Amino acid sequence: MAQTHILLETGTNELEIVEFYIEEKEYRGYYGVNVAKVLEIIRIQPVTDLPQTPHPSIMGAFSHREKKVIPLINLGLFLGKDSALGDDPKIILTEFNSVITGFVVSGVNRIHRISWTSVEAPGKFLQGLSQNSITGVVRLEGRVVFILDMESIVSEMHPDLSICMDEPLPKPQPGTRPTYTVLHADDSGSVRRLVDKLLEESGRFRLIQCADGQEAWTTLLSLKKKAEEDNIPLNELVQAVISDIEMPRLDGLTLCRQIKEDPVLKELPVALFSSLISEKLEHRGRAVGADAQFAKPDLQSLSAKLLDLLISKNL
């Protein structure tokens, strides 16, 4: 089953998910992954063992077309489920953060087009049961479907994919702000904590953090109102926005579009920071007016570009 490439308009707060399931004892768990991350869905392949695999859920690797050797992860095992692959398991072949990975699941149902407003954030209890790998919950056709944070799963297999900053940012130039206030929106608590730590430590940024696009939009409107009431420019309160793309309630593309359509907020530089950023998908960010786009985990380049944008605006 190849990816269908159903086209979505950019900035409409919609997404498409591939729904699949994992068979457990007396239970079938339903899960979803963003279609934009799926290369194709194939039948199970012969697997070669890998020496010294860093995680027990890595079954080995297989060769597929021109994609060379691809690691294969038993998703049920990673999630801590007492699962069986069943009679006709499938491999969901994904690509994000420039890494191709195969995930074995018991079966695949179909593709759904949904609104981010129908996606609920998972509670702490649910996160604890899922190895902190669920980013959203949606109800489809009477089923509860858990949207998985595939990035956190892959980064656990590839520690070098963790967000990092290896070089200090340039010191402030004469006449520029020493520290910029940036609103940062990301639904992953671990990503928010890491980005906050790294950017605060850089000495060039102070962060206002939000758990999704809707919270970010509400916060920006509040800052806009405060600036109007105090009769000061908005950029005295906040100078830029960094946003993930995949977020419950309001996604980053829609957030960016709304910012750029607002007569006051449009002056804020918006940088998209997401595992979905790639040459094939960059046009979606350009369509909503994003000033910069960088794929996770490249916080170094994003921060440097954001500084350049802010300095170019004489902020």
Mean per-residue pLDDT, 107-121 = 91
* 122 and 43 in a common domain: yes
Residue 199 burial (C-beta neighbours within 10 Å; 0-12, 13-18, 19+)? buried
Please report how the helices 252-261 and 213-230 are oriented relative to each other, as an axis angle in degrees rounded to 10. 20
Residues 6+ apart with CB under 8 A from 138: 17, 32, 114, 118, 119, 120, 144, 145, 147
Q: Flag whether 38 is in a domain.
A: yes
* 194 and 149 in a common domain: no
Q: What are phi and psi of 34, to 5 degrees?
A: -60, 130
Helix (H) / strand (E) element for 158: namely: none
* 152 and 237 in a common domain: no
* 126 and 44 in a common domain: yes
* 249 and 111 in a common domain: no
* 149 and 208 in a common domain: no
Model confidence at 1, pLDDT cuts 50, 70, 90, reads very low
The residues that bridge with 134 in the sheet, in sequence order, are: 148
Q: Flag whether 6 is in a domain.
A: no
The residues that bridge with 208 in the sheet, in sequence order, are: 183
Helix (H) / strand (E) element for 104: namely: strand 99-105
Q: Which amino acid is at 81?
A: K
* Local structure of residue 153 (DSSP, 8 states): H
Q: Which two tokens stand for residue 110?
A: 């179909």
Among the candidates 160, 192, 212, a domain finishes at: 160
Q: Flag whether 150 is in a domain.
A: yes
Range from 96-110, 151-165, 243-257 that averages highest in pLDDT:
243-257
Residue carrying structure tokens 């786009």:
293
* 287 and 234 in a common domain: yes
* Local structure of residue 258 (DSSP, 8 states): H
Over residues 51-63, the pLDDT tens digits come to 776 678 888 889 8
* 203 and 139 in a common domain: no
Q: Flag whether 148 is in a domain.
A: yes
Q: Angle at CA 182, nearest 5°, toward 178 and 184?
A: 150
Q: Angle at CA 191, nearest 5°, toward 161 and 108?
A: 70
Of 96-110, 165-179, 214-228, 237-251, least confident by mean pLDDT is 165-179
Among the candidates 127, 160, 193, a domain finishes at: 160
Distance separating alpha carbons of residues 35 and 140, to the nearest angstrom: 16
Q: Flag whether 3 is in a domain.
A: no
Q: pTM higher than 0.75, yes or no?
A: yes
Cβ 176 vs Cβ 148: under 8 Å: no
CATH number of the domain that residue 47 is part of: 2.40.50.180
**pLDDT at residue 7 above 50?**
no
Q: Flag whether 47 is in a domain.
A: yes
Q: Flag whether 68 is in a domain.
A: yes
Cβ 20 vs Cβ 32: under 8 Å: yes
Q: How many CB atoms lie within 10 A of CB 92?
A: 24
Distance separating alpha carbons of residues 307 and 8, to the nearest angstrom: 32
Cβ 183 vs Cβ 217: under 8 Å: no
Distance separating alpha carbons of residues 169 and 158, to the nearest angstrom: 26
Q: β-strand 270-274 against 292-295: which pairing, if any?
A: parallel
What pLDDT is recorded for position 131? 58
Domain span at residue 216? 162-312
Q: How many domains does the chain have?
A: 2
Among the candidates 125, 160, 195, a domain finishes at: 160
Q: β-strand 14-24 against 27-34: which pairing, if any?
A: antiparallel
* 267 and 189 in a common domain: yes
Distance separating alpha carbons of residues 273 and 285, to the nearest angstrom: 10
* 282 and 180 in a common domain: yes
* 187 and 303 in a common domain: yes
Q: Flag whether 255 is in a domain.
A: yes
**pLDDT at residue 128 above 70?**
no
* 117 and 191 in a common domain: no
CATH number of the domain that residue 238 is part of: 3.40.50.2300
Of 31-40, 66-75, 155-164, 215-224, least confident by mean pLDDT is 155-164
Of 141-145, 240-244, 296-300, least confident by mean pLDDT is 296-300
